Structure 1
Amino acid sequence: MKRLLLLSMLTFKVFTAELDLNTYSTDLKFAQVTHVVATQQSDSSWCFSTSVRHNDQGWKHYANAWSIEDLQGNQLGYRRLGHPHDNEQPFTRNQCNISIPPNISKVIVQAKCNNHGYGGKAILIDLNKAKDENYIVRKAI
């Protein structure tokens, strides 16, 4: 019974944990999201153009993905980065056909590297706000 209680407590903690946008490392060994342009398409799907900065060091250590999540941590989109960008920093890559339910108005974009995972600067995007310091939102007309 104690094991079941402990397991349920740990599971609850894992599924209710939210990303703390104010706690991150600025060290470039962690991938940092520097800017995002979110564009809603005529079919209501979204394209995200995400700029990432990281101290890529060839295949042994490089930014290898970025993701879009809702505020509960559910992944809505994912962009795999297939190679290092040693001499292209920051770099920008796009991902389209991202489905965001109409009841979700805020998303988080964060990047990761193949050594340290997530932990760098993420950006909170309000999809109902045209722009902020770190992002631009373009809604379909």
Structure 2
Amino acid sequence: MKIVWIGLLAGLLLGCGGERVVEQETGGKTAVSLPIAPTSRANADVVHVRAVATATDTWIFHVTVTHPDTGWNDYANGWDVVLPDGTVILPNPADEPFTRLLLHPHETEQPFTRSQSNIVIPAHITTVTVRAHDLLDGFGGKEVVVDLAQAAGDDFEVER
């Protein structure tokens, strides 16, 4: 079943660079290295991130995204937490292609914040990148680099 899902995920990603998908285990959760192939048209922007440590190496991320959603054909449909080596943290790898899947448009709620718990980040990792995905145009909007060793930055907060 896992191989079928990875195959389907790879097929979905062909529009985002067509690179191969590599699966690996990190802290009991599956992470997948996905291409970070931005497009010039993508306009799902991460505007703020609040990362809260909930246990050793485990976090909840509250991510604020803005995108000019126009309905079911063009909306921000997910966001990722990406490790420095390009690995995308997937808390629900069998169910969702992003760190946080967004299931519907937010036409009248902009910007909007959605949260995801059980994000396992190895202790030696000090920075992560948070990016948003545009259903129509993929990745390529504003990303936020979160320094987990700092309490705050211009567009992020960290609570330990």
Measured against the shorter chain, the TM-score band is 0.7 to 0.9
One of 65, 72, 79 as aligned partner of 2:85: 72
Aligned pairs for 1:56-135 (under 5 A) are 56-77=69-90, 78-135=99-156
CA distance in 2, matches of 1:65, 1:72: 20
- Aligned residue in 2 for 1:49: 62
CA distance in 2, matches of 1:41, 1:59: 34
Q: Deviation of residue 43 (structure 1)?
A: 4.4
One of 46, 50, 61 as aligned partner of 1:33: 46
Query: What is the identity percentage for the equivalent residue pairs of Structure 1 and Structure 2?
Result: 39
Give the number of aligned pairs: 119
Residues 72 and 42 from structure 1, CA distance in 2 versus in 1: closer, same or farther, beyond 3 angstroms? closer
CA distance in 1, matches of 2:150, 2:53: 13
SS at match of 1:41: strand
CA distance in 2, matches of 1:76, 1:49: 15
CA distance in 1, matches of 2:111, 2:131: 14
RMSD between aligned residues: 2.1
CA distance in 2, matches of 1:100, 1:85: 29
Amino acid at match of 2:51: A
Q: Deviation of residue 30 (structure 1)?
A: 1.2
CA distance in 1, matches of 2:44, 2:146: 18
Show structure 2 runs of 5+ residues with no match: 1-18, 20-34, 91-98
